[in-house]
Amino acid sequence: MGDYTIRISTSLIEQLARDDEKQVKRRTRKPRPKKVVEQPEEPQDNGREVVEAIRAVVAESEKVLEKLQKKEAAMREELTKRAKELHDKEFKLPYQNPSPCTDERAGCAECYRSNVQDPLKCAEAVKRFEACVRMARRGGATMGAAQ
């Protein structure tokens, strides 16, 4: 390996000394005072403007609240109407055909009540009732009012 020699000249020493002084100066810098930004004073009328702005917002909020209340009332009315319709549909009895031969049956019963001692007098009423029942079983319409 090769031999190296280091030469230190006086100019190098002076340069290093100057660099040291610069670094010391950099380290010991005094902090700069912070600038205080002064805000201009607001005129006294600004308070009134703020109050007016708040009043405007409150008035607008009241209008919105009123609209929402009206919409709620309309929706509640619609909901009540639909609930009533559903309730009526659910609990409404389906159309029921009246019992066939109700008049003939009632005639037989009346005849038996009035002829307790002689039920044979009701033979004709019983025949009418039987005929009506036969027709109803075959698919005929209610015969009570037809005969």
> 110 is in which domain, residue-wise?
102-137
Residue 109 lies in a domain: yes
Reported as a single tens digit per residue, the pLDDT across 112-135 is 999 999 989 999 999 999 999 999
Q: Is residue 120 part of a domain?
A: yes
22 occurs within a structural domain: no
Residue 142 lies in a domain: no
Q: Looking at the domain assignment, is residue 88 inside a domain?
A: yes
146 pLDDT tier (thresholds 50, 70, 90) = very low
For the stretch 55-87, pLDDT in tens is 999 999 999 999 999 999 999 999 999 998 888
Residues 89 and 56 in one domain: yes
Beta carbons within 8 Å of 103's beta carbon, 6+ residues apart: 144, 145, 147
Q: Verify that 107 and 78 share a domain, yes or no.
A: no
In a domain, 107, yes or no: yes
Number of domains in the chain: 2
